[in-house]
Amino acid sequence: MAVKRNCSYCSNEIEPGTGLMFVRNDGTIMWFCSSKCLKNYRLGRDPKKLPWTKSYISR
């Protein structure tokens, strides 16, 4: 059975068969819905400061 996952960066739902799996050196598995999310994670950007993420905090 296919499992629906959430993006580790923007918290959007990822459809089965899509998305990117990123494995860190410590063995932690992170799922990303798009390369946009993966690139922003690698650049060290805080998802709370980006308005297109679900974890955005409006000021």
Domain boundaries along the sequence of the chain: 5-49
CATH of the structural domain 5-49, one choice from 2.30.170.20, 3.40.80.10, 3.50.40.10, 1.20.1260.120 = 2.30.170.20
Residue 30 sits at φ, ψ, to 5 deg, of -120, 135
> Does the annotation place 18 within a ligand binding site?
no
**Residue with structure tokens 């400061």?**
49
> Does the annotation place 11 within a ligand binding site?
no
pLDDT of residue 59: 66
> Does the annotation place 37 within a ligand binding site?
yes
pTM above 0.75? yes
> Does the annotation place 33 within a ligand binding site?
yes
CB-count exposure of residue 45 (10 Å: 0-12, 13-18, 19+): middle
Q: How confident is the model at residue 9 (pLDDT cuts 50, 70, 90)?
A: very high
Residue 5 pLDDT more than 70?
Answer: yes
